Amino acid sequence: MLDLKLLASSSAGLLLVYWYLRRTVRSPYASLPLPPGPKPLPIIGNLLQIPTRHEAQVYQQWGRDLNSDILYLNLAGVSIVVINSAEIANELLERRSSIYSSRPDSVMCTELMGFDDLVPLVPYGDTWRAMRRFLHREFHPQASLQYRPFQIEATHDFLRRLLESPDNFSTHITHMSGKAIMDITYAIKVEPYDDPRIRTASLAVEAVAEASCPGAFWVDTFSFLKYVPEWMPGAGFQRKAREWHAVADDMYNKPYDTAKQLLASGTSAPSFVSRCLEGLNGTQSDSDVQENLIKKTAGTLYAAGTDTTSSTVKTFLLAMLLNPDMQAKAQKELDEVVGHGNLPDFSHQDSLPYVNAIVKESLRWRPVTPQGIAHVVTTEDMFDGYRIPAGSVVIPNQWAMLHNETTYPNPSRFNPERFLDSAGRLDPSVKDPALAAFGFGRRICPGRFLALSSIYIDIACVLATFNIAKAVDADGVPITPPGDYTPNGIVVSPLDFKASITPRSKATRAAILAQST
């Protein structure tokens, strides 16, 4: 018979050993101070100080006030580390990527909203590695070249839409990005106007962008709130989560089901989904798991590829409207290299340094993800004499990195010439903003080569064919846009502004109309 007294004494002994070890075995970094940060309040720490608007700019200012490029916040027990310099980001997120590559556990975004398998949010591990393999195989630099015809087709369609209704340029930009990514991901031809799948992608990005901000929803800090019913006062987040979950389901399932139907009928063109499905092998159960990963990875491409590129192209238009002299220089270069009345393509890219500089400056001036996408450090670490607790959420402040006065003098000014040398060639000594704009380490954006080629061809073709100027009011007075952006969220975009977009000449108009529809 089991000796209960012996069991009890053994259990007590194990507990004493555990208590002793907890008291005596300490982290080698336990005595080190935490990085500086705003003074916390008792219990809740900095929870009430966390910014809800223009977060990246607030973090940058805190860093200046505290004379530190690394900051620490405590949100009711959740450690937040903010990195304001590219050098620190490279040291921690690149060189120490083995412990800095996971993602925060967001109750709101993953459990309640259903975005748990969105690749940027998946924790570091086997599932993420499997999804990443699909993306790397299809979107490494050489593989990305196969998608250029889709990008050119979408850009030419965009030019025609600008001719027809230039005032709707913002809608046309979103349609252009959505058209290209739907072709590339699913081989689906979108509807000419107001395609519901493009709307779904935009809604998904908006939802994730809002929910992923640290401190945006208290349920991420106090997880027990997920059990609060929707009808209770203060539980409006539950209603939002339910509505956003429906968006997530549509994003993952509807285009994927259509792509599978096209594939089964033999009418599908090659796409990311078709190539991944054709490569499946193994047992039925393994194939089912792999197929689910393909579906979720495709959903990520579909959502992320629609709004992020759109934001950069809108930033470019805003910059050209505000800087007509720079627009004129780029158009002169295009006319000399491509010929006035001709549309540029990828064969011209290496001969267009000023246009390429505009692409770089559009990425730098108003980064699409100003506060980056948060990492999580899985093991306690030390940097520059500071302790970084295990489990800390690490925010790479891309805005601060891309607006560093030492790297980019006068950073608030849009100035593509900062990337050129005295001979007008791209200057390799100036840091490429893409090194920060697309993330860091093992979590760097796998679609960055695709995104960069899309942005180049969009910008080059618009500059070659249109003049972008200030719109005028009823009295003929030019309207200068304030240049405001969405004030919060992981992904930001220019708020709607008016612009006058007109063909440069009859020759450029004819060049646009000459492209087949």
Cα–Cα distance measured from residue 505 to residue 341, given in angstroms and rounded to the nearest whole number: 8
Cα–Cα distance measured from residue 413 to residue 451, given in angstroms and rounded to the nearest whole number: 24
- CA 402, 404, 408, 413: dihedral to nearest 10 degrees? 80
- Cβ-based burial of 450 (10 A; exposed 0-12, middle 13-18, buried ≥19): buried
Four-residue CA torsion sign, 33, 34, 36, 37? negative
Give how far the C-alpha of residue 160 lies from the chain's centroid of Cα atoms, to the nearest Å: 28
Four-residue CA torsion sign, 292, 294, 300, 306? negative
151 token code pair? 């990008």
55 contacts 490 by C-beta, under 8 angstroms: no
Cα–Cα distance measured from residue 51 to residue 56, given in angstroms and rounded to the nearest whole number: 9
Q: What is the largest CA-CA distance in the chain?
A: 99
Q: Indicate whether this model's pTM tops 0.75.
A: yes
Place of tokens 């590695």: 129
Domain 107-358+415-487+495-513 superfamily per CATH: Cytochrome P450 (1.10.630.10)
Domain regions of the chain by residue span: 107-358+415-487+495-513
Is 109 annotated as contributing to ligand binding?
A: no
Please tell me the predicted confidence (pLDDT) of residue 91: 97
Amino acid identity of residue 91, one-letter, is E
- Cβ-based burial of 350 (10 A; exposed 0-12, middle 13-18, buried ≥19): exposed
Please tell me the predicted confidence (pLDDT) of residue 285: 62
Q: Consecutive sets of 10 residues in the chain, 517 residues long: mean pLDDT of each?
A: 42 43 59 95 90 92 97 93 97 97 90 89 93 93 93 96 96 92 91 85 85 80 88 89 92 92 85 87 73 92 82 96 97 98 97 98 96 95 96 96 97 97 96 95 93 96 98 93 86 93 97 82
Please tell me the predicted confidence (pLDDT) of residue 13: 47
Please tell me the predicted confidence (pLDDT) of residue 234: 84
